[in-house]
Amino acid sequence: MTLDSPAARHAAPDPHNTARLTISCPDRQGIVATVSQFLYSHGANIIHSDQHSTGMEGGQFFMRMEFYLGGLDVAREAFERAFEEVVASVFDMQWQLHYAAQPRRMGIMVSKYDHCFLDLLVRRRRGELSAEVPLVISNHEDLRSDAEMFGVPFVYLPVSQSNKAQAEAEQIRLLKQADVDFVVLARYMQILSSDFLRGVGVPVINIHHSFLPAFVGANPYRAAFERGVKLVGATAHYVTEELDAGPIIEQDIARVSHRETPDSLMRLGRDVERQVLARAVKAHLDDRVLVHGNKTIVF
């Protein structure tokens, strides 16, 4: 959806001068019209709009709008205050507004496996992921040189049963000090406690193979090979207190045959893992994921 304006007719919108508005609220008539009219009245030009409703009778409404700021007639702070007073409060909205020119700060936690970690850093360097990486935390030293090669700070914090609480407290301190907006577990092979999730206070995205719960343990690909699986896959999800049960952001699979070995299954599986995680992180960065209970709406 695009609203005509002099600015839109004379110049293509600068992608860095755009904003994304996400909304969740009880469904009722007039939401799209009211939001669109508000944006138009303040000189904002709508570039994209997506909506989803779970039903008018007691249902929930979700919306993502991306708009150009070039014609905005008020300062951004005043614009946000007006939206809360004129629109959001009327419709009982939960809403967020993010400006594309302000890259999010992505903290990364990783152990020894490098495939997801390096893929994120390469995509960031290429400009595929609009994010800053102010901190990498690892419970092993193995990937320090890789982090340094990409110019991102690397902190080694060993974790054991005896020091887990202290280690997590230090992780929380470092992540807050780095002012991260969200955390990505790029194959971080430790279970995060409820205290960590509450303490860090930002979304945490995890990636794991999709053999769960069938094949658990240290070598799921060997177990899958012995069972003769015909698919390997991966799941990216937000982390909750229930292990590997948070809202799913992205999933994918690859078909395999009887000719595979445990090693080739692992290679294929890791390739799917890195692609799924990258797509999940990109969706999060682009404000395309809205969480509703233990499900997601991904525009």
Residue 31 burial (C-beta neighbours within 10 Å; 0-12, 13-18, 19+) = buried
CA 32 to chain centre: 25
Residue 193: other Cβ atoms inside 10 A: 13
Strands 94-99 and 18-26: antiparallel
- Is residue 252 among the annotated active site residues? no
Rounded CA separation 288/282 (Å): 9
Kindly give the residue spans of alpha helices, DSSP state H, lying in 84-155.
Answer: 89-91, 115-126, 144-149
- On the CB side of 175, CA atoms within 13 Å amount to 29
Which residues lie across from 234 on neighbouring strands?
209, 252
CA-angle at 180, arms to 166 and 159, nearest 5°: 25
Query: In Å, how far are 155, 193, 263 from 45, measured between CA atoms?
Result: 43, 44, 52
Name residue 40's beta-bridge partners. none
Catalytic choice (50, 244, 252, 286): 244
The two tokens of residue 207 are 């990636």
Catalytic residues, by residue number, are 244
